[in-house]
Structure 1
Amino acid sequence: MIHSMTGFGKAFTQLPTKKITVEVKSLNSKSLDLNVRLPLTYREKELPLRNTIAQALERGKVDFSIYVEVTAEETSSKINAPIVHSYIKQMQDIIPNADATELMKMAVRMPDALKVERIELDENEWEKIELVIQQALDNIQSFRRSEGKSLEDDFRFRIQNIRDFMDKAISLDKERIDGVKERLRSNLLEMKVNVDENRFEQEVIYYLEKMDITEEKVRLSNHLNYFLETLSGTEANGRKLGFITQEMGREINTMGSKSNHAEMQKFVVQMKDELEKIKEQVLNVL
């Protein structure tokens, strides 16, 4: 079963003094392009966290974020009292009769009036956060599986369309060959020359061999079957499916160049259209 690279996962938990929310978003990419946003307190866990995310998601443009909402009354920001007093004293020296409240309002806006106390990482707390991280990763993988199922249904639909258009094109083969023979004979009659029937038949056979699309039909059928087998396999991946679509495109293009028949070329164009839609969606497959 295939998985999409597009997905979203979210999970949260309530700790004694804070609410932790984890979000993971991913889009398609040729490789793993990982962007991790962490609060300063958890920054030392970034490297092992990156490894965990990489193993879980493998490929895609991934944005991972941990948000912290403090729910306790205490805060890590403290008023730097000596600095604030110093600012107030300096302003009183400049404006002796200034209102104390107004001076306080100005002082707390000055540089270094607030100091942020660094909070050391609590390993027990981090263990709880790891559970939330895993839950968010499980959620995005579930999303990817669901999107992958939708992609697979669309692929099967379009592969069947290509097969139907190919069969319709092949059904015109006898009409095409008869038309080629008729055109060649008409041209010779217009030239008013004597024709050796044996030689004429040999030339027609030689000409028709160059226009024969039997090999292309067989190879294209094999590629269509291989694509479906890969979809159902346990090792299905976007790169492999992309390579198969390239081979399918070569056979369809060759059929178009050999067809030399207006109605047959219409079916070839329809096959190309379906294949392009498959190629666009294959870019989203993990």
Structure 2
Amino acid sequence: MTAFALAEREIGAWVFTWELRSVNHRYLDTALRLPDSFRFVEGDARTRIAALLKRGRVEATLVLKRREAQAEGLPVNLELAGSLLAAASRIETLSGRELASFSALDVLRWPGVLNEAEVDRETLAPGLLDLLDEALAGLVRVRETEGRQLALLIASRCSQMREIVAGVRLRLPEVLAAMREKLRLRVTELAAKPDEDRLEQEMVYLAQKWDVAEELDRLESHLTEVERAIEQRDAAGRRLDFLMQEMNREANTLGSKSADTETTRASVELKVLIEQIREQVQNVE
């Protein structure tokens, strides 16, 4: 389910921001982007995300910057920087020629030249996780809003499918009677005196073959389950995925057993609506 949320807070000398993004995914897939010095919150962050979200690819990024009022000069390791410059000079002397020049920024980028301040884990961890909870609450609100809209769309298509199923069920006796009469006329044309017992057996067999009442019953049962699933607050995406597969199977069987064009058309319309719901279900947690 697509959503975005962020939460920002000053904690100590820093301003921290959690940015959360979620997109459609069959399962929960969490990607955390944290500064190296703050990897200590990764385990707890994953646990809190998994406690609230059950589906979707979630990207959680922690951004930090020092407050301007407390910004300090860069803590440079002058001893290491001097050693680095001296080593570069000796290499140039050994080579007998001037090597490619480098800037002061190149020296600062060398590992260890800039001394990073120690991170107080015990002080920062509770605040960072509490800030993550705030961002997650915002993300959940966005997803719930989208979920309510999707529920309305799915319910509307379920209503259309119920009308189609009811129409097929209403016409079922008429279709079977027409097929029986068609078979009787065909046999009469082929034989002057048809075997009534054999004819009746064939009619019973074809009536069973063309009878789609069982498929219609299962479709209605699945529709009831879909409507129940979208009304509950628990995660329902995977269950809806399964129900769409089962409904598509019943719609296919309805089409294969169809004895007239109207039933065939109904099967096609059902499959179109099922596919539309299936696409929407990918957004449902």
CA distance in 2, matches of 1:164, 1:140: 37
Alpha-carbon distance change, 161 to 89 in structure 1, aligned in 2, over 3 angstroms = closer
What is the aligned length?
274
Distance 1:84 1:113, change over 3 A: farther
Shift of 1:21: 1.1
Is residue 2:25 matched to residue 1:25?
no
Paired residue for 1:47? 43
Q: Which amino acid aligns with 1:252?
A: A
Residue from 98, 106, 109 that aligns with 2:106: 109
- Identical-residue share of aligned pairs (%): 30
Shift of 1:38: 1.0
Moved more, 197-206 or 266-275: 197-206
Amino acid at match of 2:61: S
Distance 1:43 1:198 in 2: 82
Unaligned 5+ residue runs, structure 2? 94-100
Q: Which runs of 5+ in 1 are unaligned?
A: 96-103
Whether contact under 8 Å (2:6, 2:138) holds in the other structure is yes
Shifted more, 74-83 versus 242-251: the winner is: 74-83
Match of 1:200 in 2: 199
- Distance in 1, matches of 2:255 and 2:56, equals 35
Deviation per CA, 1:32-91, whole angstroms, max 9, x where unpaired?
A: 221111112211222222222222223321111100122333155526366358738976
Q: Structure 1's 108 and 184: CA in aligned 2 closer, same or farther, altered over 3 A? A: closer
Residue 186 of structure 2 aligns to a residue whose secondary structure is helix
CA apart distance, 1:226? 1.9
Structure 1 residues 40 and 259: CA distance shift in structure 2, 3 A: same
Partner of 1:37: 33
Report the 3-state secondary structure (helix = DSSP H, G, I; strand = E; otherwise coil) of the residue aligned with 2:283. Answer: coil
The answer to whether the 8 Å contact 2:75/2:116 transfers is: no
Aligned residue runs from structure 1 range 203-222, under 5 A? 203-222=202-221
Post-superposition CA distance 1:194-241 (Å, at most 9, x none): 124455344323321221112222222122112212222344521222
Q: TM-score, normalised by structure 1?
A: 0.82
**Cα–Cα, structure 1 residues 108 and 89, in superposed 2: closer, same or farther, change >3 Å?**
farther
